[in-house]
A and B are shown apart, each in its own frame.
Chain A
Amino acid sequence: MTAASLTGILAPLSRGMDEMAGAPSPKELIEQELAKASPDWRIIERLSRYEVDAAPTNVRFSVDAGHIQRLGQELVAKPESALTELIKNAYDADATHVTLTFRNHDRLHGELIVADNGCGMTADTIRDAWMRISTTSKQDQARSPRFGRIRAGRKGIGRFAVQRLGKRLLLETEVSGTEKGIRVSFDWDADFRAGRDLYDVFSSASEYEKPVDRSGTRLIISDLRESWPEQVVSRVWKAVLLLQPPFRVAAIAARPDGTIPDPGFEVSINGTTSRQHQSELSLQTTFLNHAIAEISGAITPDGSAWVRLVSEKLGLDDRHDYDGTKFLLTGPVTFSTRYFVYGKGGLSGISARTASEIGRTYGGIRIYRNGFRVLPYGEPHDDWLRLDDDSGRRSILVTARNMNFFGEVALDANVNSALEETSSREGLIENEAFRELQKFVRQGVEWAVTRVGVVRERKTKASQPGFVSKLQPQKPSEAVRELAPQVVAGIIEEISDKTCSSRDESNSVQNSLHSMEVIEKKVLSFAETVLEKSKTYEDYIEQERRDSIEYEEMLRVLASLGLSVATFGHEISGSKEAMIANMTTLSQYVDRLLTPQERMPLQQKMSLLQQTATRIFHLGGYINTLMSHAESRELKPISLRGAIERFLMEFSNYLSGQSIEVVHNLSSAPLRTTEMHASELDAVLLNFLTNSVKSIKKAKVSPRRIRISTALDGNHVLLSFEDNGNGVPPEIADRIFDPFFTTTMTGDDDGAAGPGTGLGLKIVSDIACTYGGSVILGVPEDGYNCCFEFRVLSFTKRSDQ
């Protein structure tokens, strides 16, 4: 029977019994229908209901079909909330993947398909749960059946959400182990009209063939009620972020008790606008790509190991070999992890709070064996690398808790046979091989984060007293941008909650007053937060301004000093040759004197004069050399080897005069700095040299030794400058790069080394920073007591970038 014929039969009933004079009674109509070979049970059901309702001793509620529309509109205020609910439903259905596909979503009447690979619904579930309003089925089952997930969806909102989103819905759902799927279509606006009894609205259902092992649900929502601009889609994305661990979804071997650990949940949103603009949101693009660095490492078959640190944000691509350490028990292993620092502005598009919550919920370095996850490594309570423990005890000061990593170690049972799972499948047997694995990953991670810390100018070890972080506080505008939407959303939520819950007039006034109070508190709190952040930022800017003025003053002092020195050097240099010429000719005249009595005293005086003059000439020559280098304003890649060789040649007389032996170990690799001023590299070498000379003199050591070596260090060139002087005392190690910090306040009697200004290493540090590098105190080789490591970007690597 068609819907039209059904309506025809039932029409008299709807007009009321008074108008039915002569017409058959409901009971007669039921009998007539039952007498048919194929009775229409819908007619019988409706007539029976009429009879039941007509009984004078009972009354009951009935539901208008339009109620579905009102529930959709009122329970789900915003379309993005509706969509979020559908994704949460997929999560609750133990899906591992859910895909949202939009078509023409940037305007009205588009289409949205929500497809998941969850457990699907049987016909009974559709009837008894999905299509039953205010069911308690979900409340009765607080956890999902397969993976034991805590239910994320709000109770019974999903079906109204689809109505909220579009005018029509085609629901296709499949359960594993059956050959047929169920397809139900809904036309919300046409069928669920006000005035109709909800019981009288039937949606057509059918079955279709499907593979037996396939399960899942597809919601094809068409004739969308609203357009879906990118920013709304992004809001949906952010709302479901926390459901998704930032790891690949991977199977986990079932536990001995038969329960299956949760392999994870992944959402992807694909969209094509009417103008064929593609949008794609995934955890990779919105979260993982914002890691500050990627760390990877491997143990090779011969037991040697390396770790690599790559950070586009910091311009790092460094590699570290575990020199001298062999990992012979584990077998070949690889690990990789993304490293996050949840600071302000570090993660574009996600608030720091959300990001750190993701970190707390899912962070850690997981272990996978043959592609299966091995628990509990990487779970929130697990600390197999002792990262949380050591961070807590402050033996690592750079950010390095489990929450800061999203990584995995890949094991293969064939080659990592010593790394066996326990019989309870609750981890690996903690044998020597496992401890080796811990050491390998931990050391690699620690090296990498320390390196990041150095580049970000963070204190890396507890042994850096007095270190002042140079983190920039959040700008007030950023704070407003971040907090305002939260405040506005809170206010809207408050208003809509009260509006929904208060139908009663008397409650309405009370609720409004309460809402006003809540809103006022929220606004005041917001204003206070912004004020506080503004103040912090102003203090920071003020401090920066003071520093800047101080630095400018320093530069002015240096500039005028430089001019004076340049003039002085020029004059000395100009006079030098004439002095030598005159002394030489004078010597010649003296040599021509006839008697030794006349000759000897004059020759002695000439010798003293020449020695004294030589010191002045060294100084003049050195200044002149510097000035001639400073003439070049051209930025160009500089051969480290060439620059060092020229520098040593220019200072060979000075160094031999100081009895300093220079050993150099210059790499044969083509080490070229990024484009920089040649004079800057000379200034770096000169500062190191003068510091070394002063330190060596103080140490009164013999032989006096300086060692210069070069190497390629990731995408940096590294220049190490060592000496066997006194070294840098640990208590001042963290201050030596500060401006005006000096240990030599009194004038040194050596011209070139000179008195300390406290600016040398500051300038070296500035030069290193300008060219993407750093200067740090390194570990000296045997026989040396001080080592400065100066890094700038290498030319080749920069070109590659």
Chain B
Amino acid sequence: MTFKGIFIDDNPTEAAYADLLSSPGSLHVSSEKLQEVATLATVIFGQKPDLVALDFRLDELLGTLVSRQGYKGSGLAQLLRDKSSADPASDFPIILLSAEDKIKGYQKDNTAHDLFDRYYIKSEVNSEPSRVQREVVALCRGYKTLKDNWGQLNAGSLLGITNDDAEMVLSQEITSSVYSASAPHVVARFVLRNLIDRSGLLMSISDIAALLGLASAAEVAKLEEHFPRNTRYNGLFSDGWPRWWRHYLEAWVEDLFSSRPLRLTGAERVERFNQQLNVQLVPAKSRWNQSSQERFAVACACCGQPTELRHSVLQFDPYVPRFAQPGRICWYCIHTDAYLHPLRSGKPLIIDQTDMSLAEMVKGMECGSGDEDEC
């Protein structure tokens, strides 16, 4: 099946993005001309698309519109969400596709954040088209699953878990969010924001590298064949964002090491892997002191590298659910102010109040020092 996508941009030269988003045999995206916002919303909805991609600023080249008719992508998205809330069976993912400076405007506009499933910077689409294509197709597939099962959603089935795992995974926060959702896009938002994007029940490859004390994602790939059978997440949006179940991984490592992984240093973990699984892995190095003799625990929320608890500070996140892990920022990113300029989002990370004084101290410390404060 080929999904149908619509791309709206006020600049006709940008129409090439419709092609770049398209995946032959999976998704065909076409451009739609700018019209008066309500009219365009009706036109789009009437075409029953599987994906809508919007530029954020649709009011720069108005074409046939007069200036008072100018609107932003968020205005159009709101009308589309209203329509899909009234008709959940016709719901579809909406993504934002804009230039970097326009994305900054979106980031500042908090009211627009819930309207879009994902946002992409145009340069990102240019540099990594296949990843973006894979993700948008995954959105289309996920929404199709939701719409196909709308009215009889089963949280366990959505997340691809067995009955044995349900008790451990399906907390009330998850089930109530899924069963009380008014439209598929509400469920999609919950899964994307709280399960896919956050480290907790599911782990990204960076999180796994930290848990296993490995230097990089490539090292993790060398081990994947040894992971237990059900470790890979195959639920909603899994084909767009590869994730693994934490509880399977932790149990496997504990069984292998006869110890909780966090009790061992990165070097010790790798040594055991190498010995027991006959592999040649490279251990992670702390960005703070360049040592592998650290107890790596999480991927830094800023640089994504494995970091140890004692050389990281807590990230402020008021919306973190109980089943997720709060983010941590490594001392190196604090020391160099990198947390104020995180790589992708560009939006400064905020340090949790409890660790603010520690962060200030780290800024004044010599890089690599402070080991005497081991905790």
One digit per residue, 1 when the CB lies within 8 angstroms of any chain A CB and 0 when it does not, for chain B 333-375 equals 0011110010000000000000000000001111111000000
A35 on the B face (CB < 8 A): no
Cα-based distance from A580 to B16 in the complex (angstroms): 9
Cα-based distance from A642 to B122 in the complex (angstroms): 27
A713 to chain B, nearest CB (A): 16
B19 on the A face (CB < 8 A): yes
B347 to chain A, nearest CB (A): 13
Cα-based distance from A642 to B363 in the complex (angstroms): 11
B129 on the A face (CB < 8 A): yes
Cα-based distance from A585 to B17 in the complex (angstroms): 9
B14 on the A face (CB < 8 A): yes
Contacts of A574 in B (CB 8 A): 99
Contacts of B20 in A (CB 8 A): 581, 584-585
One digit per residue, 1 when the CB lies within 8 angstroms of any chain B CB and 0 when it does not, for chain A 126-149 equals 000000000000000000000000
- The answer on a CB contact under 8 Å between B364 and A578 is no
A637 to chain B, nearest CB (A): 8
- Among candidates B99, B122, B335, B338, residue contacting A670 with C-beta atoms closer than 8 Å: B335
- The answer on a CB contact under 8 Å between B16 and A578 is yes
| Minimum CB distance partner of A581 in chain B | B16
- The answer on a CB contact under 8 Å between B126 and A581 is yes
| Minimum CB distance partner of A641 in chain B | B336
A588 on the B face (CB < 8 A): yes
| Minimum CB distance partner of B333 in chain A | A642
A638 on the B face (CB < 8 A): yes
- The answer on a CB contact under 8 Å between B336 and A584 is no
A38 on the B face (CB < 8 A): no
A581-B17 CB under 8 A given contacts A670-B365, A670-B367: yes
Cα-based distance from A471 to B20 in the complex (angstroms): 65
Cα-based distance from A170 to B368 in the complex (angstroms): 72
Contacts of A580 in B (CB 8 A): 123, 126
A642-B337 CB under 8 A given contacts A577-B99, A584-B129, A668-B367: yes
A669 on the B face (CB < 8 A): yes
Contacts of A578 in B (CB 8 A): 11, 13-14, 16, 122
- The answer on a CB contact under 8 Å between A581 and B336 is no
B264 on the A face (CB < 8 A): no
Cα-based distance from A672 to B336 in the complex (angstroms): 9
A531 to chain B, nearest CB (A): 56
A645 on the B face (CB < 8 A): yes
B244 to chain A, nearest CB (A): 30
Cα-based distance from A575 to B12 in the complex (angstroms): 12
- The answer on a CB contact under 8 Å between B16 and A670 is no
- The answer on a CB contact under 8 Å between B341 and A646 is yes
- The answer on a CB contact under 8 Å between B336 and A639 is yes
Contacts of A176 in B (CB 8 A): none
A796 on the B face (CB < 8 A): yes
- The answer on a CB contact under 8 Å between B364 and A577 is no
A582 on the B face (CB < 8 A): yes
Contacts of B125 in A (CB 8 A): 577, 581
- The answer on a CB contact under 8 Å between A582 and B336 is no
- The answer on a CB contact under 8 Å between B336 and A642 is yes
- The answer on a CB contact under 8 Å between B335 and A585 is no
| Minimum CB distance partner of A586 in chain B | B16
Contacts of A715 in B (CB 8 A): none
- Among candidates B16, B99, B341, B364, residue contacting A796 with C-beta atoms closer than 8 Å: B364
Cα-based distance from A584 to B126 in the complex (angstroms): 8
A415 to chain B, nearest CB (A): 34
Cα-based distance from A628 to B13 in the complex (angstroms): 25
A336 on the B face (CB < 8 A): no
- The answer on a CB contact under 8 Å between A584 and B16 is yes
Contacts of A642 in B (CB 8 A): 335-338
| Minimum CB distance partner of A582 in chain B | B16
One digit per residue, 1 when the CB lies within 8 angstroms of any chain B CB and 0 when it does not, for chain A 567-582 equals 0001001111110111
Q: Which residues in chain A, 634-685, are within 8 Å of chain B measured between CB atoms?
A: 638-639, 641-643, 645-646, 668-670, 672
- The answer on a CB contact under 8 Å between A668 and B368 is yes
Contacts of A584 in B (CB 8 A): 16, 20, 126, 129
A646-B99 CB under 8 A given contacts A577-B123, A581-B20, A584-B129: no
Contacts of A668 in B (CB 8 A): 366-369
Q: Which residues in chain B, 1-19, are within 8 Å of chain A measured between CB atoms?
A: 11, 13-14, 16-17, 19
Cα-based distance from A708 to B133 in the complex (angstroms): 40
Contacts of A645 in B (CB 8 A): 336, 338
Cα-based distance from A670 to B19 in the complex (angstroms): 48
- The answer on a CB contact under 8 Å between B126 and A582 is no
Contacts of A643 in B (CB 8 A): 337
- Among candidates B19, B100, B337, residue contacting A588 with C-beta atoms closer than 8 Å: B19
Contacts of A669 in B (CB 8 A): 366-367
Cα-based distance from A585 to B13 in the complex (angstroms): 12
B34 to chain A, nearest CB (A): 16
Q: Which residues in chain B, 40-60, are within 8 Å of chain A measured between CB atoms?
A: none
A577-B126 CB under 8 A given contacts A642-B336, A670-B335: yes
Contacts of B99 in A (CB 8 A): 573-574, 577
Contacts of B19 in A (CB 8 A): 581, 585, 588
Of the candidates A573, A574, A638, the one having the most CB atoms from chain B within 10 angstroms of its own CB is A574
A585-B363 CB under 8 A given contacts A577-B126, A580-B126, A668-B368: no
B309 to chain A, nearest CB (A): 21
- Among candidates A570, A577, A641, residue contacting B367 with C-beta atoms closer than 8 Å: A641
Cα-based distance from A465 to B272 in the complex (angstroms): 68
A639-B14 CB under 8 A given contacts A574-B99, A588-B19: no
Cα-based distance from A672 to B363 in the complex (angstroms): 8
Contacts of B363 in A (CB 8 A): 639, 670, 672
B202 to chain A, nearest CB (A): 30
Contacts of B122 in A (CB 8 A): 577-578, 581
Q: Which residues in chain B, 102-142, are within 8 Å of chain A measured between CB atoms?
A: 122-123, 125-126, 129
Contacts of B123 in A (CB 8 A): 576-577, 580
Cα-based distance from A643 to B99 in the complex (angstroms): 24
Cα-based distance from A669 to B366 in the complex (angstroms): 4
A639-B126 CB under 8 A given contacts A581-B14, A588-B19: no
Cα-based distance from A234 to B140 in the complex (angstroms): 90
One digit per residue, 1 when the CB lies within 8 angstroms of any chain B CB and 0 when it does not, for chain A 173-203 equals 0000000000000000000000000000000
- The answer on a CB contact under 8 Å between A585 and B16 is yes
Cα-based distance from A643 to B337 in the complex (angstroms): 8
Contacts of B366 in A (CB 8 A): 668-670
B360 to chain A, nearest CB (A): 11
Q: Which residues in chain A, 546-597, are within 8 Å of chain B measured between CB atoms?
A: 570, 573-578, 580-582, 584-585, 588
Contacts of B335 in A (CB 8 A): 639, 641-642, 670
A205 to chain B, nearest CB (A): 71
Cα-based distance from A585 to B101 in the complex (angstroms): 23
Contacts of A624 in B (CB 8 A): 101
Contacts of A639 in B (CB 8 A): 335-337, 363
Cα-based distance from A628 to B11 in the complex (angstroms): 23
What are 15 A-B pairs with beta-carbon distances under 8 A?
Answer: A576-B123, A578-B13, A581-B126, A584-B20, A584-B126, A585-B16, A585-B19, A639-B336, A639-B337, A668-B366, A668-B368, A668-B369, A669-B367, A670-B363, A672-B364
5 additional A-B residue pairs with CB within 8 Å, beyond A577-B125, A588-B19: A584-B16, A584-B129, A585-B20, A624-B101, A645-B338
- Which A residues are within 8 Å of any B CB, using their own CB? 570, 573-578, 580-582, 584-585, 588, 624, 628, 638-639, 641-643, 645-646, 668-670, 672, 796
